[in-house]
Structure 1
Amino acid sequence: MGTRIEHDILIDEQQTGQRLDQALAALLPDYSRSRIQQWIREGAVRLEGTAPRPRDKVAAGQQVTIRAELEEEQRVSAEPIPLRIQYEDRHLLVIDKPAGLVVHPGAGNREGTLQNALLHHDPQLAELPRSGIVHRLDKDTSGLMVVARSLAAHTALVAQLQARSVRREYLALVNGCPVAGGTVEAPIGRHPRDRKRMAVVERGRPATTHYRVEERLAAHTLLRCFLETGRTHQIRVHMAHAGYPLVGDPVYGGRLRLPPRATEAQRQALRAFQRQALHAARLALDHPESGERLSWEAPLPEDMAALLACLRS
């Protein structure tokens, strides 16, 4: 059983003319707009005694009642897994996730995930959706993630992600040598034949990735990528679509590419690098309580730094 939520709300002048979901999100800031929309669709919200739609307009003096269940998350066990904590206060945690660590438990990964580690660090996170995790990184992508430690912070961070005000910068080592930076704007959805992969597809969700050249190498380039959207595997799919697949990417990387006149050490280093060379290097957002703009940076992990050093030589 979840927690029973009961609210009786009177729409005021400030909300007149707004959509119902927009008005309720303003009046109930502890809940995200998507959660409120779900309650409306489930019939847990009544506007003047009738079942409304999220887009229905409201007027001053109208009565809204909410009788909903705040569902409990599927129980995830706490595990003493070390965390690299970059920042911590009563609202936020910023984690530098190592490559190889799965974010959420799932089929085949019920234990040993970031969520298990977070619950050991702070058992109170069990009260939040997905233990406060508001975005994710692929298992073999390293770098910065923010975690909410309160329901208000969770709602604020989700809103910032939806408004695209969270700045996420990645370092990606790609095959090939783009002449200059650029933008890939192409919709992403499930691959039409391989449902485990994503692809650029006509009816996919809009996705935009900006990139600039950080460092040029003989046959590879270190790019700094900026996300406007947060689609699954977005940078990996977009850079492969642009003709510059990530080094080591087992899904979208294609065949191994070696530099001309590569040394034996370089050949071995490239063959041994068995994950996508992608690192979430910088994160910036507005603090959910103070509104202060905060930012963090995480250095390249050892394996990616070593590969770069080898390719430079």
Structure 2
Amino acid sequence: MMHPDLEPDDYSDISESRVLTAPADVAGQRLDAALAQMLPDYSRSRLTSWIKDGLVTVDGQPALPKLKLWGGETLTVEIQANPDEVAFQAENIPLDVLYEDETIIVINKPAGLVVHPGSGNWSGTLLNGLLHHYPELKSVPRAGIVHRLDKDTSGLMVVARTLQAQTSLVQQLQARTVSRHYFAIAQGLVKRDGRVDAPIGRHPRERTKMAVVGTGKPAVTHYRVLERFSAHTLVECKLETGRTHQIRVHMAHVGHPLAADPVYGGRAKLFAPEIMLALEDFGRQALHAKKLSLVHPASGKTMTWKSPLPADFEGLLAALRVEAGADDVDDDDWDDDDDHDMELVYVRD
């Protein structure tokens, strides 16, 4: 079946059906060993994974790797491209480009878009879309991506269009001179502004999660209270470092996990019925990358971009304000205190 997200021309390299007849000299061998002999271009582990995934049939029936062959059987194998090859297929995925020049691209990533191909998401990613819209990125490592946002986090990302620009941006990230500000809705009433300096690494038991652990990498997050509701707080978070899930882990660490976070949100809490419904409709961690500042790799000018809150985030804020009896507030009323001496590129109202 053709992948629904791929153009027809992209699909030809992903899979093909191969029909083979087991020769007499494989008699008594396991299916996986026999296939390794019949298809020497593919590793035995890869062939075994295809068998387990039901991509190999023996006389029209799925089989286990340990099935013994006696020669003469008809084997049908659905050859799958290496995931790394599929990952770098160009796909016509719409991109919300806020700014571009010959050196960099600034994108407003929607929630739900995976940034880089990986396990379970080998296509349909931002990287695939970048390769379609900017074919020259095939010559830049990771298609120019220098930092990531979680799948369900929305907001600003910068992409390098040249190797020189990528090197500059990576150096800026390492030197912590790239400024990244996020808006987040935290559970509970955050009493005051704060700073979290706690190392982050893989969770010791749940390997799909991150956690504050002594053996982790250094991680620093600053947070500032913007608005309080009945049982939630809108905060602005500024990153010094860029660890995986950093804001989500750090805010949970200080007792204020992000609203609607399915991984770090903790035990389900009871709020007012209208808030419970709003959180259910929101369906993702309440986190948006709102502001990005960096030194342009070519011009040397410090530039800043701001992204308006997406509709679902605005809707959740509206529900929280109504329930708390607060007035509606324009998110741009919160003046930044570090925009001086910067070229401000504020795109799209």
TM-score, normalised to structure 2's length? Answer: 0.67
Q: Which runs of 5+ in 1 are unaligned?
A: 1-72
2:220 paired with 1:211: no
Query: Which among 272, 281, 286 is matched to residue 277 of structure 1?
Result: 286
- State how far apart, in whole Å, the 1-side matches of 2:282 and 2:160 are: 33
AA of the residue aligned to 1:268: L
Runs of 4+ in 1 over 2 A off after TM superposition: 255-259, 264-267
Any idea what SS the aligned residue of 1:169 has? strand
Query: Which digits, 9 at most, give the CA deviation of each residue in 1:221-253, with x for residues without a partner?
Result: 000000000000000000000000000111100
- How far has the Cα of 1:266 moved from its partner? 2.3
2:145 paired with 1:133: yes
| More divergent stretch after superposition (109-118 vs 73-82) | 73-82
Which residue is equivalent to 2:256?
244
- State how far apart, in whole Å, the 1-side matches of 2:114 and 2:222 are: 26
Contact 1:258 1:270 in 2 (8 A): no
- State how far apart, in whole Å, the 2-side matches of 1:153 and 1:275 are: 32
- How far has the Cα of 1:103 moved from its partner? 0.4
- How far has the Cα of 1:112 moved from its partner? 0.7
Which residue is equivalent to 1:304?
313
Structure with bigger gyration radius? 2
Any idea what SS the aligned residue of 2:169 has? helix
- State how far apart, in whole Å, the 2-side matches of 1:219 and 1:272 are: 18
- State how far apart, in whole Å, the 2-side matches of 1:175 and 1:258 are: 11
AA of the residue aligned to 1:97: K
Which residue is equivalent to 1:195?
207
2:196 paired with 1:149: no
Backbone CA RMSD of aligned residues: 1.1
Which residue is equivalent to 1:105?
117
Query: Which digits, 9 at most, give the CA deviation of each residue in 1:95-135, with x for residues without a partner?
Result: 00000000011121111100011011110001001000000
- State how far apart, in whole Å, the 1-side matches of 2:140 and 2:236 are: 33
Query: Which among 165, 168, 172 is matched to residue 160 of structure 1?
Result: 172
Which residue is equivalent to 1:37?
none
Count of residue correspondences:
238
- How far has the Cα of 1:173 moved from its partner? 0.3
2:266 paired with 1:223: no
Any idea what SS the aligned residue of 1:246 has? coil
- State how far apart, in whole Å, the 2-side matches of 1:244 and 1:255 are: 12
- State how far apart, in whole Å, the 2-side matches of 1:114 and 1:230 are: 19
- How far has the Cα of 1:274 moved from its partner? 1.7
- How far has the Cα of 1:257 moved from its partner? 2.9
Which residue is equivalent to 1:20?
none
Contact 1:246 1:276 in 2 (8 A): yes
Q: Which runs of 5+ in 2 are unaligned?
A: 1-83, 323-349
Query: Which digits, 9 at most, give the CA deviation of each residue in 1:159-210, with x for residues without a partner?
Result: 0000000000000101011111100100101111111110000111110000
Identity of aligned residues (%): 63
AA of the residue aligned to 2:149: L
Which residue is equivalent to 1:288?
297
Contact 1:175 1:257 in 2 (8 A): no
- State how far apart, in whole Å, the 1-side matches of 2:199 and 2:259 are: 23
